[in-house]
């Protein structure tokens, strides 16, 4: 279960999901100030030095928010991509430990190699999992929580029905459970709680906020797109990933005739030089979205999105 010390700081049982090349300091700070967990992949920083600066900047802002309001904001939550092909794991982990964060998400691999230093620092660890077997392994590694990647998640996704997945995990796990995938509004968050989750991930709607790092064209494409425009493919990451068909077509590719990428190579994905190549389209011009894209109607501020979502959530909990 979610610790009371954390729950009391949340306006909503919600995490603004960590999104590659989208979640930056402005989005994270706005989310935490608005009462939802603000997260970002450490790989969004081009160097470990930049990661140190991001963490320091966000931490200073949240301390300032606490001083101004007399109330602790929701926690910051870095996301460590722990796949064996990511050479930055040790350095990024060291930066996270220096920042003394309260909460960390691990993804794309076993959390076991980073568990001891994180737990020794007093940090709660949530692990992305896409199957019951992955969940069992993460529990055995000693995590505090499981982020269940269901079929509706944007970017790296799962294949499992959320109703079946949550109940299968709850049969053996009484720790923190987070549902990722298809969180279109506050009604979905309330439904996830009823099912047995402590928190929900919301990603796609946070991409279409004024504070996100996404290009304006990306945000407008989300507004114009619907669920049928989301394509599940392994063409861009080597993992099952939900991507936007219109962005694939705009990049000159046929969404229905894409190659299958081979082995996962996180090092190539996060390499700054690769991102800067003129012909590099992956992630910069080919964009991800979850099944909740049909719920994106405009581009509000993070504060406006959270306030709107809270109204929906309260209405759902009251049966309105």
Q: How confident is the model at residue 282 (pLDDT cuts 50, 70, 90)?
A: low
Residue 116 pLDDT: 96
| Minimum mean pLDDT range among 85-94, 135-144, 266-275 | 266-275
What residues contact residue 291 under an 8 Å CB cut-off, 6+ apart? 151, 152, 153, 181, 182, 184, 227, 230, 242
Q: Is residue 273 over pLDDT 50?
A: no
Question: d(Cα 124, Cα 78) in Å, to the nearest integer?
Answer: 11
In which band, very low, low, confident or very high, does the pLDDT at 234 lie, cut at 50, 70 and 90? Answer: confident
Task: Give dist(CA 261, CA 273) in Å, integer.
Answer: 20
Locate 308 and state its tokens: 């709107």
- B/e letters for 222-234, b = 16+ CB within 10 Å, e = fewer, are beebeeebbbebe
The reported pTM is: 0.92
Confidence at 272, pLDDT banded by 50, 70, 90: low
Give the bridge partners for 126, in sequence order. Answer: 105, 145
Of 24-38, 217-231, 238-252, 294-308, the poorest mean pLDDT is in 238-252
CATH code linked to domain 4-212+298-317: 3.20.20.70
Spans of all domains in the chain: 4-212+298-317, 216-292
Task: Provide DSSP, 153-200.
Answer: -SEE---S-HHHHHHHHHTT--SEEEEES---SHHHHHHHHHHT-SEE
Q: What is the rounded radius of gyration, in angstroms, for the C-alpha atoms of the chain?
A: 18
- Residue 156: predicted pLDDT: 82
C-alpha dist (Å) from residue 174 to 126, 146, 167, 208: 13, 10, 11, 34
32-47 pLDDT tens trace? 999 999 999 999 999 9
What phi and psi, each to the nearest 5 degrees, are found at residue 215?
Answer: -65, 150
Q: How many CB atoms lie within 10 A of CB 259?
A: 10
Q: Using the predicted structure, report yes or no on whether residue 123 has a pLDDT greater than 80.
A: yes
Mean of the per-residue pLDDT values of the chain: 91
- pLDDT tens digits along 71-112: 999 999 999 999 888 889 999 999 999 999 999 999 988 999
């Amino acid at each position: 279960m979610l610790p009371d010390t954390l729950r009391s700081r949340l306006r909503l049982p919600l995490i603004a999901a960590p999104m590659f090349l989208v979640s930056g300091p402005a989005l994270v700070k706005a989310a935490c100030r608005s009462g939802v967990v603000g997260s970002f992949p450490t790989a969004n920083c081009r160097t470990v030095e930049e990661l140190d600066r991001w963490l320091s900047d966000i931490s200073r802002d949240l301390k300032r928010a606490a001083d101004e309001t007399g109330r602790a904001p929701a926690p910051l939550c870095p996301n460590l991509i722990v796949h064996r092909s990511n050479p930055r794991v040790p350095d990024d982990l060291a930066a996270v430990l220096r920042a003394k964060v309260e909460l960390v998400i691990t993804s794309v691999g076993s959390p076991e190699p980073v568990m001891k230093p994180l737990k020794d620092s007093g940090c709660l660890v949530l692990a992305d999992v896409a199957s019951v077997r992955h969940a069992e392994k993460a529990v055995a590694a000693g995590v505090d929580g499981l982020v269940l990647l269901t079929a509706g998640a944007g970017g790296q996704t799962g294949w499992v029905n959320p109703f079946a997945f949550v109940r299968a995990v709850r049969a053996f796990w009484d720790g923190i459970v987070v549902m990722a995938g298809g969180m279109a509004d506050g009604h979905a968050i309330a439904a996830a709680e009823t099912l047995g989750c402590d928190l929900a991930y919301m990603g796609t709607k946070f991409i279409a906020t004024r504070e996100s790092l996404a290009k304006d064209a990306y945000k407008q494409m989300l507004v114009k797109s619907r669920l049928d425009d989301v394509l599940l493919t392994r063409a861009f990451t080597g993992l099952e990933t939900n991507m936007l068909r219109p962005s694939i077509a705009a990049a000159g590719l046929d969404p229905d005739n894409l190659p299958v990428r081979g082995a996962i190579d996180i090092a190539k994905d996060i390499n700054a030089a690769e991102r800067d190549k003129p012909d590099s389209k992956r992630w910069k011009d080919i964009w991800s979205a979850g099944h909740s894209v049909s719920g994106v109607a405009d581009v509000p501020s993070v504060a406006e999105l959270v306030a709107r979502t809270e109204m929906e959530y309260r209405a759902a909990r009251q049966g309105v």
